[in-house]
Structure 1
């Protein structure tokens, strides 16, 4: 098992998707175990695989890793996606956290009741256009990367977030040319181009069946 990377989560995006993205960009092949019942989750807990009784969980390098941010930082550090010094790393964290905030907001709205969804999505769109995207647009006007002179997990996280924003708000990037150019550069990276192809391990936006499944085995256990 030590040479195999295995992901434990439900068959959807959630907190695992950004981990999938980082592994794909790093060129790391991985297998997935999809949790479809509460019993599967409870078995992981009873076997001692989940340190804090939470998923996602990644088996990697002989470890059972939990807490999504810790997992992503480990992958980024191991595969040279985490800057060259503490100053770059803190900037990477700042941009990465902002990207994940937007993705988390969208995910939460997609799992909310239909009655509130339209209003909540509008709030996400306003925040993205007024607060988040202008900061990324400015950063990408000064450099082809968000931090330093090489690709980092912040670039990967924001690229994922920008695609997710376009899925929900198709024209949201129309007034952000630097971000559009950034997307074009990212799509030209072979590992990313491969991950964007149909049949990859990238997951689609959640549908009703996935919402039901996600609530069953992992209720209150996502990190």
Structure 2
């Protein structure tokens, strides 16, 4: 009996699908991708009724058509035992996931007008320093296992790591200022499955003007 193919449909870049990709990579599972290249393709998906809210990413898995990145992440976390072991751990994983989602804005900076990108980056640097990075540091210090929740890898670790990566591309001096977070970041980079993913052709480069133009054409024009 052959295993069911997992299929991810999104645009040709990181975006809202990247955290799901990294959860699957960390879990050691394979998936196929369809990259939309034209507005007519997403319109057809809407007509087909597989997009509950007419948005992507779309993850087709276990006979389900999953949309909304948070729902996709939670499904994958539960399916691959990365959601926490107890009710309390599961709740903490969810809290960290929501905080990471609010924090993870650095991948959107190329979508701002050129003249405002530096301002947006500086504003989010202040938010990172005043709110998110100290919170991440405290959670790691309080848990004292090297992970955000419990004593083993969870989706909380994976998604925080995924959101830290683009920040580190823009602001490489920030993470080293937080000792626990710095150790965590290096450990995640050295995770065999994540390291293999980051060096593979499934990992997209930092968004550029061509990517931005393509996304706008497919989703917003």
Q: Could you tell me the TM-score, scaled by structure 1's length?
A: 0.93
Q: Which runs of 5+ in 1 are unaligned?
A: none
Deviates more, 1:53-62 or 1:106-115: 106-115
Q: Is the 8 A contact 1:2 1:61 kept in 2?
A: no
Cα RMSD over matched residues? 1.6
Residue 32 (1) aligns with residue 33 (2)? yes
| Alignment match, 1:146 | 148
Partner of 2:159: 157
Distance 2:180 2:189 in 1: 14
Q: Which runs of 4+ in 1 moved over 2 A?
A: 107-110
Match of 2:123 in 1: 123
Which of 174, 187, 191 is the matching residue for 2:176?
174
Q: Shift of the alpha carbon at 1:85?
A: 2.0
Q: What's the counterpart of residue 217 of structure 1? A: 218
C-alpha deviation, 1:219, in angstroms:
2.5
User: Which residue pairs with 2:56 in the alignment?
Assistant: 55
Check whether the contact 1:194–1:200 (CA below 8 A) recurs between aligned residues: no
How big is the shift at 1:107? 2.9
Post-superposition shift, 1:2? 7.1
Contact in 1 for aligned 2:107/2:166 (Cα 8 Å): no
Residue equivalent to 1:92: 93
Higher mean Cα deviation, 113-122 or 86-95? Answer: 86-95
Q: Residues 82 and 152 of structure 1 are in contact (CA less than 8 Å); yes or no, is this contact kept in structure 2? A: yes
State the SS of the aligned residue for 1:174.
Answer: helix
Give 3-state SS (helix, strand or coil) of 1:58's partner. strand
Deviation at 1:174, TM superposition (A): 2.3
Equivalent residue for 1:186, pick from 174, 185, 188: 188
Is the contact made by 1:109 and 1:121 (CA closer than 8 Å) also made in structure 2? yes
In structure 1, distance between residues paired with 2:181 and 2:130: 15
| Equivalence for 2:74 | 73
The two structures have a TM-score, normalised by structure 2, of 0.93
CA distance in structure 1 between the aligned counterparts of 2:166 and 2:90, rounded to whole angstroms? 24
Return the alpha-carbon distance in structure 1 between the equivalents of residues 63 and 46 of structure 2.
18
Tell me, yes or no, if the aligned pair for 1:8 and 1:35 is still in contact at 8 Å: yes
Q: 1:10 is matched with which residue?
A: 11
State how far apart, in whole Å, the 2-side matches of 1:207 and 1:36 are.
16
CA 1:58/1:2 → structure 2, altered by over 3 Å: closer, same or farther?
farther
Q: Deviations over 1:82-117 (max 9, x none)?
A: 0012211111111111112121x2233321001111
Deviation for aligned residue 1:9: 0.6
* CA shift for structure 1 position 188: 2.6
Q: Which has the higher contact order (CA 8 A, sep 6+)?
A: 1
- 62-71 or 138-147, which deviates more: 138-147
